[in-house]
Structure 1
Amino acid sequence: MKPKMRNLTKAVTVISLCALLAACGNDKQARRGADTVKELALLAKSRLSGKKAEPTAQPDPVAMINAVLNEIPNAPLQFVLVEKTGGFAVTSIYGTNGNKVTWISPDRKSMTLESGVLTATRGFGGDLMSVEDGGAAALIASRSSGQAQKVYRFLNGEDETARFIVNCTIAQGERDVVTSGEITAATNVMTERCQSNEGFDFTNTYWIDDNRRMVQSVQWAGAGVGQLVFRRLRY
């Protein structure tokens, strides 16, 4: 295990900072936009309040973030939340390949982002194996509007890879100042609205700073996993 990963696991394990939480029954997908990500702590706590457990058993995501930032100085860190279940963790970088960065959680779930755009998951079940983005990531990073056809490849129940094709419209939205962990940044909000020929649709939302860095995002990871919320805590 890499030293930074070992430290992250230790930090999270000591104070029970990574929890798989029960869903409270409300689908957050319709609430795309700044409100979804600005108050990640409140979102996580609302999930927690839906779980039948004693208050003392409820981990505090704010305390989690602060503890890991203190425990692991200088390393890039990212908060990740699974909207459907309420599970959350602080992740660290496991590896890089060009613009692709793989982030890993203490329970060994991983997410690969290319310029901040999700391209793969591992360890979730029904994983996203790869994405052909049709130029979407470049449009998003440059904060440009446009069209792209994306091909998602998922692992199905028979361990076979299935293709899912969507047509996406990318548009630039409002300016928004984001404060997250040690980061404060002025950003443009980019929306990516995608629809398949069968009528299934989803929307991804990205906050891009003036250096083309993804500060936070809400991204679809598949029918099983649903939306993943990413929030950078430190570059």
Structure 2
Amino acid sequence: MIRTLLATMAVATLLSGCGNDQTAQRTKDTVGELRGMIKARLSGKKPAPQTQPDPRLAIDATLKAIPGVPLQFVLFEKTGSYAISSVYGTNGGVVTWVTADKLSMSFDGPVLTATRGFGNDLMSLEDGGASAIIARRGSGTVQKTYRFLDGLDRTARLPSTCTIKPGARETIANGDIRVSATVVTESCSAGGQKFNNVYWVDASGRMVQSVQWGGPGLGKMVFQRLRY
């Protein structure tokens, strides 16, 4: 089942990439708009108005090709590349999503806790209770410990202090999902390094969209749920 699903996702993604120069440019504009959304959210500035329609070619193709399956879009802010993932498996409360090229991302509730296949992976995360606070759209301060691979394939440990605060409600429309969500911001500091994670959480405590830091190698990643 998983092998068939990955093959279908790969075909859908390839189909979405076919087209003329105008299609390619519009897809590039879409990625640019998403990157602008990240920077606007993290800087507190309002995003610039969209000048091109958002075709979401890969998303539309995959939603049509794979009905009835939970799907999640992921954008890598550092490179601008993106993929669509589906659920690979669950272990307790941790859900692992995998892309067509077998990159995987694991979440404990709304929080990214591990990646595999990227190279400089997030090996694990002790979230200090952050997931529960974010899921209930609460506030608090937690101690988190990131563990990730460095350039020498050694596991580096990064303790961080993170302050969580809920904010405004926004309507999120991604793929088959349209829902009102609370924006929850997590501001973290680790020594001299500072970074923010932002989560859009619905009334059921589900993360419908987020911008999360995966470590120095991965940088920021955008996750958008397309179908529950």
Question: Normalization by structure 2: what TM-score?
Answer: 0.84
Q: Is the 8 A contact 2:73 2:226 kept in 1?
A: yes
User: Residue 64 and residue 171 in structure 1: after superposition, are their counterparts in 2 closer, same or farther (change >3 A)?
Assistant: same
- Could you give the per-residue CA deviations for residues 125-148 of structure 1, whole angstroms, max 9, x where no partner exists? 211000000000000001110010
- Which amino acid in 2 is paired with 1:13? L
- Which amino acid in 1 is paired with 2:143? Q
User: Residue 81 and residue 110 in structure 1: after superposition, are their counterparts in 2 closer, same or farther (change >3 A)?
Assistant: same
Aligned match of 2:209 = 216
- Could you give the per-residue CA deviations for residues 23-59 of structure 1, whole angstroms, max 9, x where no partner exists? 98xx8665325999x99xx69x8xxxxxxxxxxxxxx
Aligned equivalents of 1:217, 1:34: Cα separation in 2: 15
Shift of 1:225: 1.2
Structure 1: unaligned runs, 5 residues or longer: 46-59
Structure 2: unaligned runs, 5 residues or longer: 19-23
Q: Is the 8 A contact 1:32 1:203 kept in 2?
A: no
Aligned match of 1:53 = none
Alignment partner of 1:166 out of 156, 160, 166: 160
Aligned match of 2:101 = 107
- Could you give the per-residue CA deviations for residues 106-163 of structure 1, whole angstroms, max 9, x where no partner exists? 1211111111210011111211000000000000001110010000001122222110
Aligned match of 2:83 = 89
- Are positions 1:231 and 2:200 aligned together? no
Question: Normalization by structure 1: what TM-score?
Answer: 0.81
- Which amino acid in 2 is paired with 1:220? W
Alignment partner of 1:199 out of 192, 201, 209: 192
- Structure 1 runs of 4+ off > 6 angstroms? none
Within 5 Å, give how 1:44-55 maps onto structure 2.
Answer: none
Alignment partner of 2:145 out of 151, 165, 168: 151
Aligned match of 2:40 = 31
The alignment-based identity, stated in percent, is 48
User: Residue 141 and residue 234 in structure 1: after superposition, are their counterparts in 2 closer, same or farther (change >3 A)?
Assistant: same
* Partner SS for 2:56: helix
Aligned equivalents of 1:35, 1:201: Cα separation in 2: 15
Within 5 Å, give how 1:48-87 maps onto structure 2.
Answer: 62-87=56-81
